[in-house]
Amino acid sequence: MRDNCILTAESVTEGHPDKLCDTIADAVLDACLKNDPTARVACEAMATAGKIIVAGEISARELPDIPAIVCRTVREAGYHSDYEVEVITHDQSGDIAGAVAQDAQMGAGDQGILYGYACSETAELLPLPVVLAHRLTSLLTNARRTGTIHGLQPDGKAQVSVEYQNGSPSRIAAVVVSCQHDEGKDLEELRREVIRHVIVPALRDLYPDPKTEVFINPSGRFVLGGFEADTGLTGRKLMADTYGGLAPHGGGALSGKDGTKVDRSGAYMARYIAKNIVAAGLAEECTVSLAYAIGRAEPVAVDIDTHQTGEYPEAVLEQAVRAVFDLTPGGMIRALGLDWPIFAQHCNYGHFTHQDAPWEQTDRAAAMVDACQIAAVGALCR
Residue 14 pLDDT exceeds 80: yes
pLDDT at 55: 97
Is residue 360 within 8 A of residue 140, CB to CB? The reply is no
Q: Look at residues 272, 266, 255 and name the one whose alpha carbon lies nearest to residue 352.
A: 272
pLDDT at 104: 56
Pairing of strands 51-59, 213-216: unpaired
Q: Distance of CA 97 to CAs 79, 260, 299, Å?
A: 37, 10, 19
CA atoms of 222 and 241, how far apart (whole Å):
24
CB neighbour list of residue 183: distance below 8 Å, 6 or more residues apart: 223
Right CATH number for 17-93 from 3.40.190.10, 3.40.50.2300, 3.30.300.10, 3.30.9.10? 3.30.300.10
Residue 176 pLDDT exceeds 70: yes
Average pLDDT, rounded, for the chain: 94
- Confidence bin at 99 (pLDDT 50/70/90): low
pLDDT tens-digit readout, 230-255: 999 999 999 999 999 999 998 789 99
In words, the CATH class of domain 112-120+235-381 is alpha beta
CA atoms of 292 and 298, how far apart (whole Å):
7
Q: Look at residues 336, 350, 345, 230 and name the one whose alpha carbon lies nearest to residue 276.
A: 336
pLDDT at 108: 81
Residue 103 pLDDT exceeds 60: no
CA atoms of 202 and 197, how far apart (whole Å):
9
pLDDT at 238: 95
Q: Look at residues 345, 371, 379 and name the one whose alpha carbon lies nearest to residue 360.
A: 345
CB neighbour list of residue 5: distance below 8 Å, 6 or more residues apart: 163, 164
pLDDT at 377: 86
Alpha-helical regions (H) of 164-229: 187-194, 200-202
pLDDT tens-digit readout, 137-165: 999 999 999 999 999 999 999 999 999 99
Question: Which amino acid, one-letter code, is at 163?
Answer: E
CB neighbour list of residue 344: distance below 8 Å, 6 or more residues apart: 23, 26, 27, 29, 30, 73
pLDDT at 381: 60
pLDDT at 133: 98
Is residue 321 within 8 A of residue 273, CB to CB? The reply is yes
Identical fold between 5-12+128-225 and 112-120+235-381: yes
- Domain borders along the chain are 5-12+128-225, 17-93, 112-120+235-381
Half-sphere exposure (Cβ direction) of 141: Cα atoms closer than 13 Å: 22
pLDDT at 251: 73
Structural fold of domain 5-12+128-225: GMP Synthetase; Chain A, domain 3 (3.30.300)
